[in-house]
Amino acid sequence: MGRRLAIGTTIGTAALLAVAGCGGSTGSTAAAGSTTLSFFGADYGAGSANSTTKYWDAIASAFHKANPSITVKVQTVDWTDFPTKVQTLVQNKQFPDVLEGDAAPQFAQSHLLYPDSQVLSPSLLANMMPTFLKDGQYQGTDYGIPFTTSTRALYYNKKIFAAAGIAAPPQTWAQLQSDAAKIKAKGYVGYGMPLGSEEAQAEALLWFLGDGGGYVNASGTYDINSQQNVQALQFMSGLAKAGDTQPSPGTTDRKDVWAQFAQGRVGMMLGSPAVIPIIQAAGVLKTADYATADVPGKNAPLTSTLGVHDDVVAFNTGGHQAAIRKFLDFAYQDKYQLEFDHEYDLLPATKSAAASMSANPMFAAFLKNIPQSVNYPAKASWQTVQDQIQTTLGQAVSGSPSKILNAIQKTAVSGG
Amino acid sequence: MTHAAAAGETAGERLGPASAPAGPVIPAAAPRPHRAGRGAQVRRRLEPLAWLAPAAILIAVVVLWPIVTLVQTSMQNITPIGVTIGSAGTRNFSKLFQDPNLPGILVRTVVWVVAVVALTMLISLGLAQLFNQRFPGRRVARWALIAPWAASVMMTALIFRWMLQPDNGAINIFLHQLGIVSQLNSNQSSWLGRPDSALAWMIGVAVFVSVPFTTYALLAGLQSIPGELFEAAKIDGATRWRSYRAITLPLLRPAFLVAAVINLMNVFNSFPIIWEMTRGGPGYETNTTTVFMYNLKESFIGEAAAMSIVNFTLIIVIVLIYLRLNNWSRPDPREAR
């Protein structure tokens, strides 16, 4: 493995240096009156067939037709590489004008962003769902522009439930545990519990909420090692140790559990609307074979579930405020919002698009959860906390929950 | 920039030795028989510079610059999104050394490097000996050995991960049929979910991809040993084992040393196997220092750069100690004979 690695690193280093060497501002104003905006976004697709580049390119060219003086250059990158790529862009000061996919407070903290009021028309700003808008605040000003959202629910396999003699989806943890044991006895995975590094923070929060816990307390300060959270993890640990989950939940990623559910091998799991296309692609489960229900809690189902959202932010580093505003007003039309959500089975971020989408029964259940959804903490330090949760929380099911939560709380408090 | 800096750090170790010979090979400005004008003389003096320049520039840009940037980065306070907000002095280093996970990671790194290199060298010694024999199909066998080397390390690691899937991985199904794994989709079949068994499997994969190169290096060494020596030993009544210890091993030492040192550096810096198979998890329990550096980079860019510098220092120290133990300066035994 020697030589190849060495050559690989050499070429890699040279390429990086070349990139760094040519570095300059990307969004440049060329001839008088004509502006080029650079757009950098996450790719929600699976491969080139449904790449998000296509979606943005279509908007960019329609926008260019309407505004010939403004050109938008689109680049998207796969979710896995997205954080690293954004980090590199920022570190090399190659800021895009518009970035889609990251949270706002961390950039706002470094004074890199235009506030929403400067890059959105008042009517568009008023059309944003308030529950997501408030997450993008930094020191009381809106910086994040919600673009796409989703909420979580319990998915269950009706066929497996029938085979195990379970009449209705569980509403409490105790019911979930006994149902999972029955399903396991039939040779399936009872409950799919992904606590691997992909998205441990979501799975954990949905359990924390079931016990009245969460990442922050009522006053909005970090309270990660609360008694409720420790108890929730202890319960999860009990499930895993009894074999009612898939083996090694601490290293299982969400995508693996979702894929196994789509293959008809998992009885229950938590998921977003994005599970639906995976089930359809697998072709094992028919629409009548599975359903969604409220997420079970310790004593009753959750009244507010996890809502996640990906934001657009507008960088002030290129000085293209007017052009960005025109572009965002154009890109947030209902037809584009709906097109995106249709393509990737996500939910819209504007009230008007949500209203027209709620006619679809498949999404209605998820949409109705939005107004009272709980989101991740809107803090500049959240990203750091989330990284640590993703890396270490999985150990809680095999080790000591309180020790791990204490360590995360320590990072959270020291970071802000 | 940590990415570039980190890559530069590994390139530093590799490129250094690889490009250094470019210097001595270039003909020095030897005095020429006929006298020439002053201008021509100056030109002749400067001529070597022109020859050296490409290599020197390459080293400066590709090796030295990243190292300088790396050191700078390690002393800066950088936010998780990559904005530099001032100097951190030595805080990144002190934070790193106070990290409760670091001692375990250092111990694991030693286990990982020693186990992989030792197993690789042992297996390769045997394989090289085998491939040095004449047997039908030797050419095919030699070619076949290249396969794990030629395949992408990342793909190899990924395929092993799939083969170890708890419910339907090929290795698990095989072990299940043998009765070693009592139940599929159980904690027992989740090899990569438990830190100890995950590390063992990853050591196996690392040995698998390191053996071909090492075997070829040793095979080249074996082929350079003249056959008369063995004949002479035979006449003197030496047993096979005795002639292996007294002739083969000492004469194989240069090839063995080179292979071991290259493996030491490679295995220490090995990233794709661990990253693809466990991402260093659960928690930090299968991290080596190289993987830990990458994990740190997600949130603590400065601290990751500090880890990178520690790695850089460690690898230099390890190699120096190893060379010292093996008396690098001792003359080649072949010259002594």
Q: Residue B282: is the preceding peptide bond cis (ω within 30°)?
A: yes
Domain count within chain B: 2
Span of A17-21, A132-136, A319-323, A339-343 with lowest mean pLDDT: A17-21
Regarding whether A268 and A409 lie in a shared domain, the answer is: yes
Mean pLDDT of chain A: 88
Residue A252 phi, psi (nearest 5): -95, 130
Whole-number pLDDT of residue B34: 56
Question: A13, B4: Cβ pair inside 8 Å?
Answer: yes
Task: Report the interhelical angle of B301-325 vs B65-74 (nearest 10°).
Answer: 120
- Same domain as A116, residue A57: yes
Asked whether residue A20 is assigned to any structural domain, the reply reads no
Six-digit token string for A265:
């091998």
Residue B20, pLDDT score: 40
| ipTM for this prediction | 0.76
Q: Does A83 touch chain B (CB under 8 A)?
A: yes
How much is the pLDDT for B290? 94
The total of other beta-carbon atoms located within 10 Å of residue B85's CB is 11
Strand pairing class (A137-138; A145-151): unpaired
The reply to whether B131 and B179 lie within a common domain is yes
How does DSSP assign A122-149, residue by residue? HHHHHHB-HHHHGGGEETTEE--EEEEE
Q: Are residues B64 and B212 in the same domain?
A: no
Residue B46 has pLDDT above 90, yes or no: no
pLDDT at A187 over 50: yes
- pLDDT score of A155 more than 50: yes
| Mean of pLDDT over chain B | 85
Q: What is the pLDDT of residue A39?
A: 96
Contact status of A91 with chain B (Cβ, < 8 Å): yes
pLDDT of residue B159: 95
Residue B131 and residue B267 share a domain = yes
Contact B299 A107 (CB under 8 A): no
* Residue B167 resides in a domain: yes
Do A203 and A161 share a structural domain?
Answer: yes
User: Which CATH number fits the domain that encloses residue B264?
Assistant: 1.10.3720.10
Report the CATH number that the domain containing residue A255 is assigned in CATH: 3.40.190.10
Residue A349 lies in a domain: yes
Place of tokens 């020439």: B36
Is residue B312, in this structure, part of any structural domain at all?
A: no
Q: Does a structural domain hold residue B116? A: yes
Which has the higher per-residue pLDDT, A104 or A96? A96
Average pLDDT for A178-186: 95
Structure tokens, B274:
């661990």
Q: Would you mind telling me the total number of residues written for chain A in this entry?
A: 416
CA B74 distance to own-chain centroid: 24
Q: Are residues A255 and A362 in the same domain?
A: no
Query: Across residues A204-214, what is the average pLDDT?
Result: 94
Would you say residue A160 has pLDDT above 80? yes
In chain B, which residues have their Cβ closer than 8 Å to the Cβ of A107?
A: 81
Q: Averaged over A152-161, what is the pLDDT?
A: 94
A8-45: pLDDT as tens digits? 444 444 444 444 444 334 444 444 578 999 999 999 88
Interchain contact B283–A (C-beta under 8 A) = yes
Which residues fall within 8 angstroms of residue B100, CB to CB, at 6 or more apart? Answer: A407
The tally of CA atoms less than 13 A away on the side-chain side of residue A70 is 22
Say yes or no: B152 and B48 in one domain.
Answer: no
Would you say A305 and A374 are in contact if contact means Cβ atoms under 8 Å apart? yes
For residue A92, the chain B residues in CB contact (below 8 A) are 1
Confidence of residue B326 (pLDDT cuts 50, 70, 90): confident
A181 burial type by CB count under 10 A (0-12 exposed, 13-18 middle, 19+ buried):
middle
Looking at the domain assignment, is residue A4 inside a domain? no
User: B79 with B133, same domain?
Assistant: no
Average the pLDDT over B129-158 and give the result: 91
- Bigger pLDDT: A4 or B155? B155
Confidence of residue B330 (pLDDT cuts 50, 70, 90): low
Residue A394 in domain: yes
B positions 80-99 inside 8 Å of A (CB) = 80-85
A80 and chain B in contact, CB less than 8 A: no
pLDDT of residue B4: 40
Residues A177 and A114 in one domain: no
Same-domain check for residues A43 and A83: yes
Q: In total, how many domains does chain A have?
A: 2
Residue B176 has pLDDT above 80, yes or no: yes
Residues in a beta bridge with A314? A98
Residue A84 banded pLDDT, cuts 50, 70, 90? confident
Query: Is residue B207 domain-shared with residue B267, that is, in the same domain?
Result: yes
Query: Residue A299 is encoded by which pair of tokens?
Result: 């004593």
B13 has pLDDT over 70: no
Name the band, by pLDDT with cuts 50, 70 and 90, for residue B333. Answer: low
B31 assigned to some structural domain: no
Q: Is the domain of B166 the same as that of B73?
A: no
Q: Which residues of A240-251 are buried (b: 16+ CB within 10 A; e: fewer)?
A: beebbbbbbbbb
Do B275 and B134 lie in a common domain? yes
Instruction: Please give the share of chain B, as a percent, with pLDDT higher than 70.
Output: 86
* Range of the structural domain that residue B174 is part of: 104-224+255-286
B219 in the same domain as B160: yes
The mean pLDDT value for B159-172 works out to: 91
Report pLDDT for A99: 96
A89 interfacial to chain B (CB closer than 8 Å): yes
Distance between first and last Cα of chain B: 52
3-class secondary structure per residue, chain B? CHHHHHHHHHHHHHHHHHHCCHHHHCCCCCCCCCCCCHHHHHHHHHHHHHHHHHHHHHHHHHHHHHHHHHHHHHCEEECCCCCEEEECCCHHHHHHHHCCCHHHHHHHHHHHHHHHHHHHHHHHHHHHHHHCCCCCCHHHHHHHHHHHHHCCHHHHHHHHHHHCCCCCCHHHHHHHHHCCCCCCCCCCCCHHHCHHHHHHHHHHHHHHHHHHHHHHHHHHHHHCCCHHHHHHHHHCCCCHHHHHHHHHHHHHHHHHHHHHHHHHHHHHCCCHHHHHHCCCCCCCCCCCHHHHHHHHHCCCHHHHHHHHHHHHHHHHHHHHHHHHHCCCCCCCHHHHC
- B79 & B128 share domain: no
Is residue A373 pLDDT above 80, yes or no?
A: yes
Closest in A2, A17, A251 to B282, CB measured: A251
Count of positions (residues) in chain B: 337
Q: Which residue of B has its CA nearest to A187?
A: B185
* Segment among A89-98, A353-362, B247-256 with least mean pLDDT: A353-362
Same domain, A208 and A337: no
Domain shared by B56 and B183, yes or no: no
Q: Are residues A295 and A319 in the same domain?
A: no
The verdict on A283 and A387 lying in the same domain is yes
> Would you say residue A6 has pLDDT above 80?
no
- pTM reported for the whole predicted model: 0.80
- Identify whether B304 is part of a domain: no
Q: How confident is the model at residue A198 (pLDDT cuts 50, 70, 90)?
A: confident
Domain boundary residue, one of B242, B269, B286 = B286
**Could you tell me if residue A15 is inside a domain?**
no
> Which of B 184-243 lie inside 8 A of A, CB atoms?
185-187, 189-190, 192-194, 209-210, 213
pLDDT of B30 above 70 = no
The residue of chain B with its CA nearest to that of A241 is B187
Supply the pLDDT for residue A60. Answer: 95
**Residue A160 sits in the same domain as residue A134:** no
**Per the domain annotation, does A7 fall within a domain?**
no
* Residues A381-416 pLDDT 10s: 888 899 899 999 999 988 899 999 999 999 999 864
For chain A positions 184-243, those within 8 Å of chain B (CB to CB) are 189, 196-197, 243
Domain-located, residue B83: yes
Residue B281: the pLDDT is 81
pLDDT at B152 over 70: yes
Counting one residue from chain A and one from chain B, the pairs whose CB atoms sit within 8 A come to: 147
- A231 within some domain: yes
List, for residues B194-237, the tens digit of each pLDDT value: 999 999 999 999 999 999 999 999 999 999 999 899 999 999 98
Pick B193's closest partner by Cβ from A12, A84, A248.
A248
Does residue B241 sit within a domain?
A: no
* Residues A91, B301: C-beta atoms closer than 8 Å: yes
Mean pLDDT across the stretch B65-89? 89
Query: Which residue would you say has higher pLDDT here, A26 or A231?
Result: A231
Q: What is the pLDDT of residue B23?
A: 41
Classify residue B307: in a domain, yes or no. no
End-to-end CA distance of chain A: 44
pLDDT of residue B334: 53
Contact A2 B263 (CB under 8 A): yes
Alpha-carbon gap, residue B285 to B271, rounded angstroms: 15
Say yes or no for a CB contact (<8 Å) between A88 and B1. yes
B28/chain A closest Cα distance in angstroms: 28
In a domain, A201, yes or no: yes
User: Do A328 and A271 share a structural domain?
Assistant: no
CB B201 within 8 A of CB B160: yes
Q: Are residues A279 and A188 in the same domain?
A: yes
Domain housing A258: 153-305+381-415
pLDDT surpasses 50 at A7: no
Q: Do B301 and A87 touch (CB under 8 A)?
A: yes
A358 part of contact set with chain B, CB < 8 Å? no
CB atoms closer than 10 angstroms to residue A364: 11
A90 contact residues in B (CB cutoff 8 A): 81-83
| HSE, side-chain direction, 13 A CA sphere, residue A255 | 5
pLDDT of A368: 83
Q: Per-residue confidence at B35, pLDDT binned at 50, 70, 90? A: low
Mutate to test the interface with A, among B65, B69, B78, B83 (most CBs of A within 10 A): B83
Residue A11: predicted pLDDT: 45
B170 lies in the same domain as B58: no
